[in-house]
Structure 1
């Protein structure tokens, strides 16, 4: 009787493991397909933004390229880390550290670029006569350099704090958990710095984007303001606020998952983490393509032309029409 119970328990455990494996494969496929699709769209849009001189000589599109580049790299890194976690592949601390620092770098660049783009829209609507002298190619390049410098300084400080950890006390440099940005916070000082820097960046971004949004709303009521331009800028800033909110949730998801893990089963936690990954990691990185690729009248014809050309759709008349429109 004891042997029968033990055998039954082994069969139940094997069945649960088999179901867990099938579920991981299914979730990885369902999540990986839209992620790969948006990586393709983002890559095509990056190519589109370098295909015409109007995109290379307009500050707004230069900032968009920087934002889209950071979001695309971050999306690719997030998908790579998700696949490694789903396959239960454990990395070494140095390899994970490089991936985690690149993830953090692109995340900060994306957030700060959103701030600069919001300020550019604010100047365009509220001070249209001063927009050209203020938002020049030179000033845009300087703003992008400042964004990258601040982001790189953050990574440098994090690396220095990471090097203070006593890796020589570990039996092996092989990690015992999945690689992630949070997994590389190995000391209380690193944790404190990460929380303080994250709060500072998102408070700064929230104040800047919200102030720009309110300023555009006030300007829209003025008789001298272009109503259509103000309405479009307001909608764009609102979408930037949504992006920022979702990005902020991505910094809080670990704490939420840890608190839920005390009461919920492991399989349910895996499902919740997958849902979080889709909505707070993938979705914010895809909004740029949706916001500008579909709404911007200058980008949309060129983007659709390149997409049709790369996908080799059997629509020569539509493709040529889009080409004529984009030119």
Structure 2
């Protein structure tokens, strides 16, 4: 709590803040526009709404979009040192914590789906149904809620009543009242990281074995699946690094506030924005069927706009 309050009164240069915030707004606007376009494409085609990999992809797009909106709000609040009620901060923290893990667990589930499609093709239709997809999304959210439930339960049990009447700058550090909470948070993050990394490596090795014995069209399909898993692994690594960023930032904050602001901004661009712009590229552009649907959606929208202008 003390660290968070100590931020007040230390103001970065207005020009630096304005430039950084403008850059972030441009990037987030582009990412959200692409995400919403692809979500719209997903909703327009029944084949996408009934296929597990596209359902999980849409879940990732929605999760990333909500996460980007919330992180942008927090970034603006911190940059301009806006104090808010702690109850509102708790709501923001719930969304951020939940969707941090939802994206990562969904990526792991998408990797498992590719493993089943390539290594167990005869059972893929049975296991990857629309009903099982919806159950999978519920499980993903349930797993993602566990760290959040642990952290908030400890906070509510440890915080004094006066805490709930405070106005402060919203950050994850607000909810860490004891040093052992930081260690617990680290342990849970490492556990999740280990499980997801083991799953990714397992699927990659299994798909690689199938790729070696495959031939013809199957070989090309398997190779593409292998590349998709590799991209998921890279995306997941960036997401997992973001779990360590708060610990790095907390250490830097003890040294210098301006350095802390620069490190947090760098981490936000590289480990928060970057992995969340990869999902549209991995499935939205590399998947031929989905790419053609997006292209048709964009072209039809432009033609419709031109035709409406011609009557003006």
Is the Cα–Cα contact under 8 Å of residues 167 and 173 in structure 1 kept in the other structure?
Answer: no
1:312 and 1:37 map into 2 onto residues whose CA distance is 22
Is the Cα–Cα contact under 8 Å of residues 162 and 190 in structure 1 kept in the other structure?
Answer: no
Alignment partner, residue 227 of structure 2:
235
TM-score if structure 1 supplies the norm length?
Answer: 0.83
Counterpart of 1:49 in 2: which secondary structure?
Answer: helix
Is the Cα–Cα contact under 8 Å of residues 119 and 207 in structure 2 kept in the other structure?
Answer: yes
Residue 257 (1) aligns with residue 277 (2): no
State the number of aligned residues: 297
CA-to-aligned-CA distance 1:97-120 (integer Å, 9 cap, x gap)? 110111111111111111111011
1:80 and 1:312 map into 2 onto residues whose CA distance is 35
Residue 199 (1) aligns with residue 227 (2): no
Q: Rg: which structure is higher?
A: 1
Q: Which runs of 5+ in 2 are unaligned?
A: 1-9, 308-312
Is the Cα–Cα contact under 8 Å of residues 67 and 96 in structure 2 kept in the other structure?
Answer: yes
Deviates more, 1:146-155 or 1:198-207: 146-155
Alignment partner, residue 88 of structure 1:
81
RMSD: 2.4
Alignment partner, residue 155 of structure 1:
148
CA-to-aligned-CA distance 1:169-208 (integer Å, 9 cap, x gap)? 4494112xx3123432333454343222211111111110
2:246 and 2:117 map into 1 onto residues whose CA distance is 38
Alignment partner, residue 289 of structure 1:
280
Counterpart of 1:179 in 2: which secondary structure?
Answer: coil
CA-to-aligned-CA distance 1:258-294 (integer Å, 9 cap, x gap)? 444566x543442332121101111111111111111
Residue 58 (1) aligns with residue 43 (2): no
2:164 and 2:58 map into 1 onto residues whose CA distance is 44
Residue of structure 2 aligned with 1:167, choices 144, 160, 171 = 160
1:103 and 1:129 map into 2 onto residues whose CA distance is 38
Alignment partner, residue 142 of structure 1:
135
Alignment partner, residue 223 of structure 1:
214
Is the Cα–Cα contact under 8 Å of residues 50 and 130 in structure 2 kept in the other structure?
Answer: yes
1:125 and 1:68 map into 2 onto residues whose CA distance is 24
2:16 and 2:241 map into 1 onto residues whose CA distance is 25
Alignment partner, residue 186 of structure 1:
177
Residue of structure 1 aligned with 2:271, choices 280, 295, 309 = 280
Alignment partner, residue 17 of structure 2:
24
Query: CA 1:201–1:133 in structure 2 vs 1: closer, same or farther (change >3 Å)?
Result: same
Deviates more, 1:181-190 or 1:94-103: 181-190
Deviation at 1:224, TM superposition (A): 5.3
2:87 and 2:100 map into 1 onto residues whose CA distance is 20
Alignment partner, residue 108 of structure 1:
101
TM-score if structure 2 supplies the norm length?
Answer: 0.87
Is the Cα–Cα contact under 8 Å of residues 243 and 284 in structure 1 kept in the other structure?
Answer: yes
Alignment partner, residue 211 of structure 1:
202
Alignment partner, residue 248 of structure 1:
240
Query: CA 1:257–1:161 in structure 2 vs 1: closer, same or farther (change >3 Å)?
Result: closer
Counterpart of 2:288 in 1: which secondary structure?
Answer: coil
2:247 and 2:28 map into 1 onto residues whose CA distance is 25
2:17 and 2:263 map into 1 onto residues whose CA distance is 12
1:122 and 1:171 map into 2 onto residues whose CA distance is 47
Query: CA 1:261–1:191 in structure 2 vs 1: closer, same or farther (change >3 Å)?
Result: closer
